[in-house]
Amino acid sequence: MLTLLIAFGSFFGFVLAYHTYGRWLGKKIFNLDSQALVPAEELRDDVDFAPTPRQVIFGHHFTSIAGTGPIVGPAIAVFWGWLPALLWVLLGSIFIGAVHDFGSLVISLRNRGQTVGEIAGRLISRRARLLFLLILFFALTVVLAVFGLVIANIFQWYPETLVSVWISMPLAIGIGYWGYYKKRDLTLPSIIALAVVYVGICIGAYYIHPTLPTLTIGSISMNPVMTWTAILMVYCFIASVLPVWMLLQPRDYINSHQLVVALVLLVSGLMLAAFTGKADLANAAPAYVPMAEASKSMPPIFPFLFITIACGACSGFHCLVSSGTTSKQLANETDAQYVAYGSMLLEGGLAVLVILCCCAGLGMGIFAKDANGVLTAVVSADNTALLGEAAWRTRYPSEGGFRPLRDGVAAFVDGGANFLAMLGIPLAMGIAIVATLVACFAATTLDTATRLQRYVIQEIGSTVNIKPLTNMYVATGVAVGLAFAIACIPGPAGPGSGGLILWPLFGAINQLLAGLAFMVIAFHLWRRNKPIFFVVLPMLFMLAMPALAMTWQMFHPETGWWVKGDYLLFGIGAVIMTLQVWMVIEGLLLWPKAHGVLEEKLPPLPIKAMPASAS
């Protein structure tokens, strides 16, 4: 019953927070105005700026911020026990993450859809703008390299996901054409597309398991993971330069429906498993793992819990989505609470469900494929099924050897499939549904991140006067080319495996970005004599936790990057820390002078950039 109590208590808390704290922010702090001119109308070009119905933009925003973050992060963090992970998700998403996303979207709406980095230049200083853009550039480079490898590995681990993931691309283009050119309602086409995706899941689960061989081109050898990464980068290039209505919006719309279906199935299975006593959180996994035990495989829970779970509690990447793509598509300013605050709370709900899958669900048993590819239950030495904490320990071994990415994803897939099995869904189909959910979410983050990186590179090119970088195609080529080069770093398992050494960097850089975004939001409010206490405390927290974690990773006497000779990680970490400290100093110097003093207004738009109705 504890499993059910946590699930419903969490969802009730999120709904309550939306209608109380979220409404207070929207009405009393940000003063949302339904009559305000939004960037999607003011700068409409139907490529990046395009007014979009709020249910469609909600689907795009949610699937873009979610990705694998609220799945992989909590799935790894429960190694320290399910209680710390649950508390951070609940409190973090309501009081930190949702405020961060909401504030980033609003200030971008009030600044013609500019990114948080651009806005920092006017709110703080021109140097702050360049510093922020450089931090964004490093952060997005790591995101593209790591998430490309994550998806490629998921394709390799779960080939049953391939048909459904790739079939959604032409479906999305068809829906985009139907909605944009035909001006038709998207309800029926999206339902049909969702049905086709589930047919693809069935085909992948039972009939087609495509795999790629190792390719050799001259002296260059590419294993399947690297081949998939290359294919994904080509896709990202195309998706980044196409109009948002053609692929980005409709694919995210389809994925949002897929998520709703998967969530309904998982919650229904969870309820049935809890009522029948088969899902028992109290006996399936420890609420807290002592530090001495956890340290054999993981760093200390403080501060690493707060950078391991990012999406689902608070993630700096979200400020890029809010101010990079969503603000350019929102059709009405009052939709900001629904899209930004609401999406973050839904992501918190997903993270809670992941925690329950990786603990209570995993305790219902684990499975593996035999030599013939048939799923069989893993049993103990006496030939009895592994259940409860014994099953959980197979994915989270206390003696060491925990593989965070692979074991975390496998824990969620196994636990989720167990919940779906309670509804009579065959295990193979359940695994395919949950694995496809992971892969589709990761893909939405990847192509959104590519478009965001294109914006950042174009802004850097404009700032430092490197004209070629301001070109859409050149900037996109630099983004995907650099990400692929980093992903190709050789490691113990061949090309590509070394790229995953950047994984420890992702969490710290991502959360440092959230702290800096909070600083920009704080300056926006401070200049307008608005309350800032609810922003300053999260800002300090999100600056301190990742800085402590990065310092530990760089200088730990036994496992630090400098001691181990991981000079790539150490160098990137040192650059990021330097940029962060510099930007904080810029903010501190200006803070006393900024109170009540509005920033310089944006220059008037050139006539050619104004909408036709205004000319």
Residue 104: give the domain boundaries.
2-285+292-317+331-359+383-490+502-614
Q: Which helix (H) or strand (E) holds 88?
A: helix 82-92
**Which of 572, 315, 324 shows the shortest CA–CA distance to 453?**
324
- Determine the pLDDT at residue 547: 92
Question: Percent of the chain scored above 70 by pLDDT?
Answer: 90
| 385, β-bridge pairs | 379
Q: What's the CA angle centered on 205, arms 202 and 209, to 5 degrees?
A: 120
- Per residue in 494-535, pLDDT (tens digit) is 666 666 667 667 788 889 999 999 999 999 999 999 999 999
- Determine the pLDDT at residue 381: 61
Judge whether 185 lies within some domain. yes
Any idea which of 159-168, 316-325, 365-374, 386-395 has the lowest mean pLDDT? Answer: 365-374
Question: CB under 8 Å to 158, separation ≥6 — which residues?
Answer: 413, 431, 432, 435, 436, 439
| 494, β-bridge pairs | 491
Judge whether 370 lies within some domain. no
* The two three-digit tokens of residue 13, written as one number: 């808390």
* The two three-digit tokens of residue 515, written as one number: 């702290």
Phi and psi at 351, nearest 5°, equal -65, -40
Q: How far apart are the C-alpha atoms of 97 and 511, rounded to whole Å?
A: 11
Question: If DSSP codes are grouped into helix, strand and coil, which group holds residue 216?
Answer: strand
- Determine the pLDDT at residue 370: 62
* The two three-digit tokens of residue 3, written as one number: 């499993």
Distance between alpha carbon 297 and the CA centroid of its chain, in Å? 24
Q: Grade residue 152 by pLDDT with cuts at 50, 70 and 90.
A: confident
* The two three-digit tokens of residue 522, written as one number: 């704080």
CA distances from 313 to 16, 266, 481, 519 (A): 17, 21, 31, 18
- Determine the pLDDT at residue 613: 41
SS3 breakdown of the chain: % helix, strand, coil, rounded to 5?
75, 5, 25
Count: domains in the chain:
1
- Determine the pLDDT at residue 611: 46
**Which of 546, 560, 545 shows the shortest CA–CA distance to 509?**
546
Is 351 within 8 Å of 129 (Cβ atoms)? no
Q: What is the DSSP string of 129-142?
A: HHHHHHHHHHHHHH
pTM comes to 0.89
Judge whether 101 lies within some domain. yes
Q: Is 593 exposed, middle or buried (0-12, 13-18, 19+ CB in 10 A)?
A: exposed
Question: With 70 as the cut, is the pLDDT of residue 372 above it?
Answer: no
**Which of 445, 432, 343, 418 shows the shortest CA–CA distance to 72?**
445
Residue with tokens 């980093």: 486
- Determine the pLDDT at residue 153: 84
Helix axes 126-157, 404-421, angle to 10 degrees: 60
Phi and psi at 376, nearest 5°, equal -135, 150
- Per residue in 341-351, pLDDT (tens digit) is 999 999 999 99
Q: Grade residue 399 by pLDDT with cuts at 50, 70 and 90.
A: confident
Average pLDDT, the chain: 86
Phi and psi at 489, nearest 5°, equal -55, 125
CA distances from 268 to 74, 458, 505, 540 (A): 21, 46, 37, 39
Question: If DSSP codes are grouped into helix, strand and coil, which group holds residue 433?
Answer: helix
Is 335 within 8 Å of 32 (Cβ atoms)? no
Judge whether 508 lies within some domain. yes
Question: If DSSP codes are grouped into helix, strand and coil, which group holds residue 94?
Answer: helix
**Which of 595, 135, 86, 51 shows the shortest CA–CA distance to 319?**
135
- Determine the pLDDT at residue 382: 62
**Which of 442, 349, 517 shows the shortest CA–CA distance to 7?**
349
Q: Which amino acid is at 88?
A: W
Q: What's the CA angle centered on 359, arms 420 and 65, to 5 degrees?
A: 75
Q: How far apart are the C-alpha atoms of 170 and 63, rounded to whole Å?
A: 18
Mean pLDDT, rounded, for 25-45: 93
- For residue 145, the number of C-alpha atoms closer than 13 Å in the C-beta half-sphere is 27
- Determine the pLDDT at residue 188: 77
Q: Which residue has the higher pLDDT, 44 or 382?
A: 44
3-class secondary structure per residue, 460-510 = HHHHCCCHHHHCHHHHHHHHHHHHHHHHCCEECCEECHHHHHHHHHHHHHH
Judge whether 28 lies within some domain. yes
Q: What's the CA angle centered on 178, arms 438 and 253, to 5 degrees?
A: 20
Is 256 within 8 Å of 59 (Cβ atoms)? yes
